[in-house]
Structure 1
């Protein structure tokens, strides 16, 4: 069901283009605002207007917002290449391959960890929203490595709390462009959605607190292998923080990586891998650690970086 919002143009938007005013008022991208205007879903003082028309303070806006898209439910089917590293009554730990999302989201039509587990007959916790039951943390679709999913309700609660309270040790390896200076450091910079509204995230004043620790493991001619520990778990956190340092992950075109270097090393996605995950087992209370080896594409790229150095 559509949602109609009515409001006056604030004094601060006097003289702005209509698409810019709608973007500011509702948090849309300019492109999305223009689409609504062209579709006739924006009225100014009861009449349709052009996206480039200038608005005046006090003019009455009526904006018909489309219904929010519905999140699809997981498709229960086995995911080729997804290995089970550990399973017991409380948790299942997987080695997530490339091209697999943690759970269904709007716009994602590919395989998911949750669907893969259900399709292979694994039980997962029923806690959480229906489309992401048992999911206590996520990896980007093209980030590989260790991921834990809760099977029991008590494990779901305990692990969600552990991730929130930052008592989980999350370790990643990233091959980044160039050589960070200093070789070891911490990025403490807030992250939120990029103002462009194009799906990227960025370091933004007033964003969510985000802390990334990094240490150089090995330096090559054009890149560096970093060991990274996350304190927080924001979407795209490592990718955003490395790009903010001007050392984006090799192959991460979304965040400004050099396509020439990526091609030379044979990388077709961001070189980023969740190498280990340590936490207090929600059933036994024991501190447990699970690790994952580099997948073939990342290992091959690393060998090329060494060969050319």
Structure 2
């Protein structure tokens, strides 16, 4: 994918750099090392760079890297001790019965599926606060605050709740969203051979990250919604208003 890193920098100072990561880009190199990662791009730009936390490849939004060891140590300790505030937005299948709540279900790696996590009573404590911001009958736009940082936490918890994240190929059906699902009289234009998806990526976005930097400096970092998520919300809002 074509990626100009300077266009995605939310802020930077002497201690850290915050990026609005696009969906489809790895945060750090995977085991195969074939695909480009955000960390590699940052190393090319800055030289030394230190991983503080990560986002799933399909998740977009705020991700922070430290520029030196002291910042890395201080920030990593905050993430581990749950002193950061992490807020996500996501589109899920269906409408949860409760408009807000807390999912407190332990998570561990699936016993037979490598790279897949699952709710398991002997797993690590995992807590997700959620709120339905806008229900759309077949989908819901939600806000999540994670109090723990387990792998795939929001995705696993929403599957457990019965409302997986849209386009999630691990914990949902992975199917793209088409405008023909929303418009009963939708007709393909003559210039198109087949309908293009309205959304074809994990519908999860790291919207805000708050923490304390060196010397007690407070950070509140926000990543605006990318174009694809804005577009599907616009279409869902129109569709919802027409059905009233």
Give the Cα–Cα distance (whole angstroms) in 1 for the partners of residues 11 and 47 of structure 2: 14
2:93 paired with 1:93: no
Residue of structure 2 equivalent to 1:7: none
Assess if the C-alpha contact under 8 Å between 1:267 and 1:297 holds in 2.
yes
Give the Cα–Cα distance (whole angstroms) in 2 for the partners of residues 290 and 302 of structure 1: 22
Give the Cα–Cα distance (whole angstroms) in 2 for the partners of residues 192 and 220 of structure 1: 32
- The DSSP-based 3-state class of the residue aligned with 1:116 is helix
Residue of structure 1 equivalent to 2:220: 289
Give the Cα–Cα distance (whole angstroms) in 2 for the partners of residues 164 and 258 of structure 1: 31
Matched ranges for 1:1-309 at <5 A: 79-80=3-4, 83-119=8-44, 121-125=45-49, 134-257=50-173, 259=175, 262-263=177-178, 264=181, 266-282=198-214, 284-309=215-240
Assess if the C-alpha contact under 8 Å between 2:175 and 2:200 holds in 1.
no
Give the Cα–Cα distance (whole angstroms) in 2 for the partners of residues 158 and 252 of structure 1: 33
Q: 1:305 Cα shift? A: 1.6
Give the Cα–Cα distance (whole angstroms) in 2 for the partners of residues 102 and 276 of structure 1: 17
Give the Cα–Cα distance (whole angstroms) in 2 for the partners of residues 306 and 107 of structure 1: 41
Relative to the length of structure 1, the TM-score reads: 0.68
Give the Cα–Cα distance (whole angstroms) in 1 for the partners of residues 231 and 165 of structure 2: 16
**What CA deviation, in whole Å up to 9, does each residue of 1:213-258 have, x standing for no partner?**
0011111121111111011111111001001101001111221237
- The DSSP-based 3-state class of the residue aligned with 1:216 is strand
Give the Cα–Cα distance (whole angstroms) in 2 for the partners of residues 156 and 258 of structure 1: 35
Give the Cα–Cα distance (whole angstroms) in 1 for the partners of residues 100 and 143 of structure 2: 9
Larger gyration radius, structure 1 or structure 2:
1
Assess if the C-alpha contact under 8 Å between 1:79 and 1:113 holds in 2.
no
Q: 1:124 Cα shift? A: 3.3
1:108/1:296 CA distance change after superposition, 3 Å = farther
Moved over 3 A (4+): 78-82
Assess if the C-alpha contact under 8 Å between 2:166 and 2:172 holds in 1.
no
Give the Cα–Cα distance (whole angstroms) in 2 for the partners of residues 117 and 218 of structure 1: 36
Relative to the length of structure 2, the TM-score reads: 0.85
Assess if the C-alpha contact under 8 Å between 1:99 and 1:111 holds in 2.
no
Q: 1:145 Cα shift? A: 0.3
Q: 1:107 Cα shift? A: 3.1
Give the Cα–Cα distance (whole angstroms) in 1 for the partners of residues 69 and 151 of structure 2: 25
1:106/1:229 CA distance change after superposition, 3 Å = same
Bigger relative contact order (CA 8 A; separation at least 6):
2
Assess if the C-alpha contact under 8 Å between 1:102 and 1:114 holds in 2.
yes
Aligned residues: 221
Q: 1:80 Cα shift? A: 3.2
Structure 2: 5+ residue stretches without partners? 182-196
Q: 1:137 Cα shift? A: 0.5
1:290/1:205 CA distance change after superposition, 3 Å = same
